[in-house]
Structure 1
Amino acid sequence: MLGALRKSDAVPAAELPRLESRWARGALANAADGNVLAAHWDAMPATLRQDPAIVAAYAERAAALHWDDAAARAIEQSLDAHWDDSLAALYGRLSIGRLDERASRIERWLAQHPGSPGLLTSRARLQYAHGDWPGAEASLHDAIDRGASSDTWELLGDGYAANGEDARARIAYANALRSARGDGLVELPTTSQAQRFATPRGPVDTNGTTLQ
């Protein structure tokens, strides 16, 4: 189709790369199975396979099709060749297992890119998956200090909520919205402040049920 557009001059030449990228992402995202996905990927020019958005489309579809190794390998090879923070963030977000392998690779990358908010957020996701909430909390704060997106604030809120820190969770969620809008952020309360303003709960029975 692009060849026909080039010949007909129906689309300005400057628009063709954008259209090519969009069609490539669409083909990958809609691949019916792993064989179709691999065929689309292998047929793409090398320049397209270096585009972070296209790598992300391939990795996300591969993960959805349970091609975990292919999804991880595509991101790893792309980041080793050309660093991109959005791909670094996706690396921890994909549900592809390989927790220990990904955690080790993230630590190696952090030695080279210590200020990457996407990579720090990925580290936090894997730390949390390993049951290390204190480590995940510290990594999320590091990511936020380095300009992480609103998604990182939302993750922080999820962690606080899961650990019963309701006052901090509410502020983290509010900051996620503020960050998305570009508004000023609210400082998180200290532990003692959070406890002071925590929502009162009724007495708890021996089964852990809150009694009203």
Structure 2
Amino acid sequence: MKRRLLWGLVLLAGLLGLGYGLWWLISQDPGYVLLAFKGFRYQSSLWAFLALLLVTGLLGWALRRALRLLLLSLGVVNPWSRLHRGRRLRLACEQGLLDLAEGRWQPALRHLRRAAEGSAQPLPYYLGAARAAEEMSDSASAEQLLARARERQPKAELAITLTQADLQAERGDWAAAQATLQQLRDQYPAHPQLLRQLQRVLTQRADWSGLLGLLPDLIKAKALPAAQLQTLQEQAWQGRLLAAGQAGGEALATVQEAWQQLHARERQNPLLLKAYASQLQALGADEEAESVLRTALKRSYTPELVGLYGQLRGRDPGKQLQLAESWLKQTPQDAQLLLCLGRLCLRNQLWGKAREYLEASLQFARQADTCIELARLLASQGDLARSNQLLQEAVQLRGGQWPSLPLPSGH
């Protein structure tokens, strides 16, 4: 603070000294200036002329400063003037992307379209604008923007077409999306994102044959995690078997043919085994379904298959029951196995034993199917109160169908 005060005093003293010296010079000799040109004549003292030059210079500087401030103010009032084209473009880019992320589709479309037309690299802005247009159900504008993107950046055909297929899927035009991606796949057969999008479309359209044909490329490109690929493969084969079971008069042969197309390792998958056996059962081939599950369960006991095994009528129901009872040694408290045994006892008309197994199953797990089977048995034996109670419980647990198995007559 003291140092600043000292410097201020020194400056003031210097200015006073300068002023005094200038006054002394002026008082000693005012000088004389004469300017003449043709008819023009100007004369003045030297010091007055110097003062005029100084004032003129200051006025010129002030005028230039004022004009600059005026132009800047005009740029603020009208941000879309040509003077600030770069600034306008940057603002349009930033605001458009922000609007798109926050779901403000109309301003996003306006800003991104403007940014795309003014940018040397317009691709992300055209794609964003197309997505905003699609969100407003303006598919025509979205397609026009994608076409414009192709004109401006023809080398970005892959990115543009992937976006186009994605927008087609969003509007529910899955067939068009599949056609778009299939055409692109000819050029980019191993592109992970293309394969992922095509997988999504094929799954949505339940095109299980197409999906099974795509799976090797998905695996090779590592387009999805291994666990997801496994789930997808199981889903595709389950769908394929289900579709085969709806093939009309040739359904049984179609299902069997589809099953033979699986690799030996895949035919041991419990989910696929259950899907295949269920289709055989639905087509009246219970004996074949029982044989398939019996072989699988002998190889490896699987709770998912036991429930279905109890619903199948094999060639020898007595042997079915003996085989199922042999599994009790390793899983005596398996509610699903006990339900299976209860159903097989009903199949063999062993009413008392069936009731014991069904009651035991309910002790370990309250399942709707078990309640229903026991309710049917009790109703046929005259215990209507308990039967109705179990039926009500089954309705609360889960409604559903159950196999029509024999019951004791005479009640």
RMSD: 2.5
Q: Tell me, which stretches of 5 or more residues in structure 2 are unaligned?
A: 1-213, 400-409
Task: Give the residue type in structure 2 aligned to 1:5.
Answer: L
| 1:3 alignment counterpart | 216
Asked whether 1:152 is paired with 2:338, we answer: no
Displacement of 1:170 in angstroms is: 1.6
Task: Identify which range, 21-30 or 128-137, moves more after superposition.
Answer: 128-137
CA distance in structure 2 between the partners assigned to 1:131 and 1:53 by the alignment: 30
Is the partner of 2:265 in helix, strand or coil?
A: helix
CA distance in structure 2 between the partners assigned to 1:98 and 1:63 by the alignment: 16
The normalised TM-score by structure 1 is 0.74
CA distance in structure 1 between the partners assigned to 2:235 and 2:217 by the alignment: 17
Choose which of 221, 226, 237 in structure 2 pairs with 1:24.
Answer: 237
| 2:265 alignment counterpart | 47
Closer/same/farther in 2, CA of residues 180 and 64 from structure 1, 3 Å limit: closer
| 2:379 alignment counterpart | 161
Choose which of 302, 312, 321 in structure 2 pairs with 1:84.
Answer: 302
Q: Is the 8 A contact 1:63 1:95 kept in 2?
A: no
Closer/same/farther in 2, CA of residues 6 and 86 from structure 1, 3 Å limit: closer
CA distance in structure 1 between the partners assigned to 2:243 and 2:279 by the alignment: 8
> Which structure is higher in RCO with an 8 Å CA cutoff and minimum separation 6?
1
> Whose Rg is larger?
2
Is the partner of 1:131 in helix, strand or coil?
A: coil
Where in structure 1 do 4 or more consecutive aligned residues deviate above 4 Å? 7-13, 178-181
CA distance in structure 1 between the partners assigned to 2:312 and 2:347 by the alignment: 12
Say which structure is richer in helix. Answer: 2
Displacement of 1:54 in angstroms is: 0.9
| 1:187 alignment counterpart | none
Task: Identify which range, 150-159 or 34-43, moves more after superposition.
Answer: 34-43
| 1:102 alignment counterpart | 320
CA distance in structure 1 between the partners assigned to 2:224 and 2:236 by the alignment: 15
- Deviation per residue, 1:141-186 (Å, 9 max, x gap): 11112225221112111212222211101211222244459xxxxx
Task: Give the residue type in structure 2 aligned to 1:112.
Answer: Q
Q: Is the 8 A contact 1:161 1:169 kept in 2?
A: yes
Q: Is the 8 A contact 2:314 2:320 kept in 1?
A: no
CA distance in structure 2 between the partners assigned to 1:21 and 1:149 by the alignment: 26
The 5 Å alignment of 1:1-212 reads: 1-6=214-219, 11-31=224-244, 32=247, 33-96=251-314, 98-147=316-365, 149-180=367-398
Task: Identify which range, 99-108 or 17-26, moves more after superposition.
Answer: 99-108
The normalised TM-score by structure 2 is 0.40
Displacement of 1:8 in angstroms is: 6.1
Q: Is the 8 A contact 1:66 1:96 kept in 2?
A: no
CA distance in structure 1 between the partners assigned to 2:349 and 2:227 by the alignment: 49
Is the partner of 1:93 in helix, strand or coil?
A: coil
Q: Tell me, which stretches of 5 or more residues in structure 1 are unaligned?
A: 182-207
